[in-house]
Structure 1
């Protein structure tokens, strides 16, 4: 007899597991299905292992900044030891996630989920029956479809490298390209980053991106802009990356040209669910064209960045939607950051849009390099753009470039989301001297 579930969740990553835990806490019968590693991309081969590798980079660069200012000698990155530390974390994710799910009373299935022509969901041929279905299958790295594309490796491969090659090239000027190039350069390899036009990280403030690139160039990262790669060939001296009037030889080439939704292998066309390169189409209730199928997290086509905390936010919303119907989802302001060196982060209204309405917004363009928070660690550069609404005095957007931009953007997110004015902020007593005590000078 086929077991009847209230909800079947397809995908055992941050979105799917948050969904399953939330539903079982409300008394629902839940099954969660995963085809690969339990825990998903973020803890296994994404944000978490990346940041473990970045920890060594941060320590090395912090030491480098203080040479001649109290420290002597810059440490080197021991890549095998660093990778062992990363694996000490990631090796336990799959089993730990699975144990947690089963311990909570959630049924689990490992295999490929597919909606058959008759609309039934099967997992490696086994029928799974539920009232509602939630697609939370995430994304995967995209591979550029050029001649020799089989020589590309991805961020997944990079995050499990046993040894660091002498020459590494990233193709694509997005988050992954910048972040992994930063790690590779700190580990001592020669690094090139190829981008097809002259505007990498196009979602971020252009001035801030230029400043970040200048910092990385000073560290030895080579940017090859306006290069539309056409082919990769293998020779005795390495991999040759080719474009008109361009030929670069490297030992490892990583496709960092964005990510694709894992929606093309589920048989969604059999159940009336549509998707494109941005993800599964959903309405304001995260519901697809099929009223009993929903999509959350990176696989869904929603107007917010594809981030782990956003996946959790959507999961919590949908738990409420499926157990006690609610209004359409309303997103808070969502900060995004590039973990390069220095870090680049932004939230809310951009300076570009604010500049189009000068009567409404003030743009505070700040060079904070000489401020105490950055002077004490001899940071080479710290910049901020803060957008303030004139009528209310509220911060409505910010872009930050510094070694602690990821920390500062969270403070700024709180100021925006909670609508904290400067007088209200100044009624608080914050620990000094800290980055938080600098906030009052950003308005």
Structure 2
């Protein structure tokens, strides 16, 4: 039976990074992948989604300048845009596995399941290790409704060879929003159906409503307070059925959350605790078995399940497996909804702000007239600050074409508690989002 110092289960951004770091420490490392080498993010998640979104951004940038130097808005050629995406994604699995092999990290392809706390089975072979790291990530959930077999998911959308004429998304989280933005910009009649009236519940309600208005003006149809009960196959397309609501679409995408990839791990045989949210760990990312660690989106945690967070945890867990660290301490984590208008936030959660609203006050600034945004005709640009009782900034939400850039600068300012006087000592390139920072702090 092959024996290793560490076996990593999952080759996504977290597992991959950890495997390399462990190998650099001189350990004998193996890594197991049940699906595509490289994991969700580069293959069928954030990276290919952003490749498609680049077409949307280019189209909308020109559209905003129609009549200001441009006569017409360009059209997106779906097949060419998908080919652009594939120029990146097609090479990911082979390059990932080749890189691991070059680093002399042993690779196994197949579904891993624990035999006991020290032994794992994969591809009709048993392996053992002194330590394990579980980094198997998440996958889309499937709504338990009649006709659920007709639902497709984000993975299917990102692999569409042709874009249907009419697409409906069930769910109103960031995945539904981003995919709907892509579909709409590429020419599909697009609908978002949600069971309540609070889309993007992790973001500021005021700016979410403004984003919804922006997307409605762009042609996306929103249907709130619709509790979908059934998906029925029709001669042409699929019928979405709820009380007093019916809609027919060529493609129905379920975007109602994700679940941890733990079903095939047989965690009970290793006496590893878990629940429906994922694997339970302590403050050092150890499971109920001290030699078995876990990180990334497979964890049962309140911290946002995002690729950079998984990478942060991977760096931490490598040291934790050597017993060299104290409890994990997460920094400020920005979250973003991408699109032609991007929504970004950082700081105290919306849940905390709502539950203790008496402790906080807000300020919303319209940025549309600021030169940075006026030059790109970003008429919806806004930023919202939340202050505590001591007038300290505790949360920031941005809505603009440049929100993803701006939020990263603001993360640094908040983390380092940089004052206005200190900021005035910097000279930033102008005009840019950075050059406006001194007006905010």
3-state SS of the aligned residue for 1:116?
strand
TM-score, normalised with respect to structure 1: 0.96
Q: 1:434: which partner in 2?
A: 432
Q: 2:244: which partner in 1?
A: 245
Per-residue CA deviations over 1:333-372 (Å, capped at 9, x if unaligned) read 0000011331111001257756887897553311111111
How many angstroms apart in 2 are the aligned matches of 1:388 and 1:197?
A: 29
Q: Describe how 1:37-116 pairs up with structure 2 within 5 A.
A: 37-116=36-115
How many angstroms apart in 2 are the aligned matches of 1:338 and 1:62?
A: 17
How many angstroms apart in 2 are the aligned matches of 1:211 and 1:354?
A: 19
Q: 2:185: which partner in 1?
A: 186
Q: 2:266: which partner in 1?
A: 267
TM-score, normalised with respect to structure 2: 0.97
3-state SS of the aligned residue for 1:301?
coil
| CA displacement at 1:423 relative to structure 2 | 1.4
How many angstroms apart in 2 are the aligned matches of 1:152 and 1:189?
A: 18
Per-residue CA deviations over 1:122-181 (Å, capped at 9, x if unaligned) read 112211110011110000011101100000111000001000100000000101100000
| CA displacement at 1:394 relative to structure 2 | 5.2
- 89-98 or 429-438: bigger deviation: 429-438
> Is the contact between residue 9 and residue 135 of structure 1 (CA under 8 Å) also seen in structure 2?
yes
- 88-97 or 419-428: bigger deviation: 419-428
Q: 1:335: which partner in 2?
A: 334
How many angstroms apart in 2 are the aligned matches of 1:96 and 1:353?
A: 42
Q: Describe how 1:373-384 pairs up with structure 2 within 5 A.
A: 373-384=372-383
Aligned length: 441
How many angstroms apart in 2 are the aligned matches of 1:178 and 1:244?
A: 24
> Is the contact between residue 296 and residue 309 of structure 2 (CA under 8 Å) also seen in structure 1?
yes
Q: 2:422: which partner in 1?
A: 424
Q: Give the direction of change, closer, same or farther, for the CA distance of 1:45–1:194 in structure 2 (3 Å limit).
A: same
- 246-255 or 113-122: bigger deviation: 113-122
Q: 1:412: which partner in 2?
A: 410
How many angstroms apart in 1 are the aligned matches of 2:351 and 2:12?
A: 35
How many angstroms apart in 1 are the aligned matches of 2:14 and 2:350?
A: 31
3-state SS of the aligned residue for 2:406?
helix
Q: Which 5+ residue runs of structure 2 have no aligned equivalent? A: none
3-state SS of the aligned residue for 2:264?
coil
Q: 2:233: which partner in 1?
A: 234
Per-residue CA deviations over 1:228-270 (Å, capped at 9, x if unaligned) read 1000111113200000101100000000000000011100011
How many angstroms apart in 2 are the aligned matches of 1:276 and 1:353?
A: 24
How many angstroms apart in 2 are the aligned matches of 1:388 and 1:440?
A: 17
RMSD: 1.7
How many angstroms apart in 2 are the aligned matches of 1:41 and 1:94?
A: 11
Per-residue CA deviations over 1:389-432 (Å, capped at 9, x if unaligned) read 575x7543210111111111111111111211111111111111
| CA displacement at 1:300 relative to structure 2 | 0.8
